[in-house]
Homo-oligomer: A and B are copies of this chain.
């Protein structure tokens, strides 16, 4: 049987079934990061790779941005647990004819975002490879009661996101359509959203510190896909209100000009690295205020329900099933995109 017949998520389920856990494992496979008991605090541990030709195309993105993004997406996984990122090891696979100056630039991007978020690169591996590959493994930490999981959502919760969505999809569109007419400031903003996402570490730490926050994930695959992850892990259903989905304004403008549905970009585009979380209704005021104080918005987009399934509530009140998002080995499901980590 070929992998594309069962898809990425099917393969993960198959390979990790029956994976043994140890005494110190609070949470193993199945969330954005593993959670390990480490005495006074919880240790978080995650890894994510980017591969040339799969996640990026060097004709469209600089090696410096590739380095930046490879680290940023891992930092976002720590933010998605409510944690503070700390130490990283980095594996780089380089073609033999790669330029040393490009390797310098790639590391420069990677070190820049690491420094921005207080991450120290403490080790790594450099190897030959047929294409450029960057793998980051990242540690983080939280207080014992400061961690949040995909599985924490409770019926009645309000579903929220930080910031706006679809900006990365807009940047990806502009990257692939260089001649598309777009004012430079908007183009720059959207390309930056796609190439240099800013993981929501401060917001994640705030959310982990508030007991009214129940379920938490980052939006890497897309709101549609990631709310399904929460629903499945929590054993709940969800309604997302289409009219409430916060579309990045610049992306909305570009999408309309291009004849695309901007909400599709927000739902399915992915790579926005905002946080998606569920909140006890009585805690909404406290949480909104705390997020505003750390520079993040709190946008309610839906409700958690008893039962199962994720539904998009259209303006007129009708429901449509909300599925999708990217999977590797994609014939088993999901949408293909030109680039994603």
Contacts and interface: CB of A to CB of B under 8 A. Distances in A.
Contact of A329 (B14, B28, B96): B96
A128 interface: yes
A11 B100 contact: yes
A120 interface: yes
A100 B135 contact: no
A19 interface: yes
Most chain B beta carbons < 10 A, residue from A20, A54, A126: A126
A8 B45 contact: no
Contacts of A104: 14-15
A340 to B, nearest CB: 10
A34 interface: yes
A86 B3 contact: no
A296 interface: no
A22 B118 contact: yes
7 contacts: A3-B103, A11-B100, A24-B86, A47-B125, A48-B91, A130-B131, A139-B139
A45 B130 contact: no
A211 interface: no
Interface stretch (A35-43, A177-185, A305-313): A35-43
Contact of A15 (B11, B107, B135, B139): B107
B49 A120 contact: no
A229 interface: no
A25 interface: yes
A14 B93 CA distance: 16
A100 B49 contact: no
A25 B87 contact: yes
A141 to B, nearest CB: 9
Given A4-B96, A99-B2, A100-B6, A25 B126 contact: no
Nearest to A118: B22
Given A3-B100, A3-B103, A39-B40, A29 B328 contact: no
Contact of A123 (B47, B51, B123): B47
Given A25-B87, A118-B22, A122-B36, A100 B14 contact: yes
Nearest to A18: B111
A77 to B, nearest CB: 9
Contacts of A45: 87, 89, 122-123, 137, 139
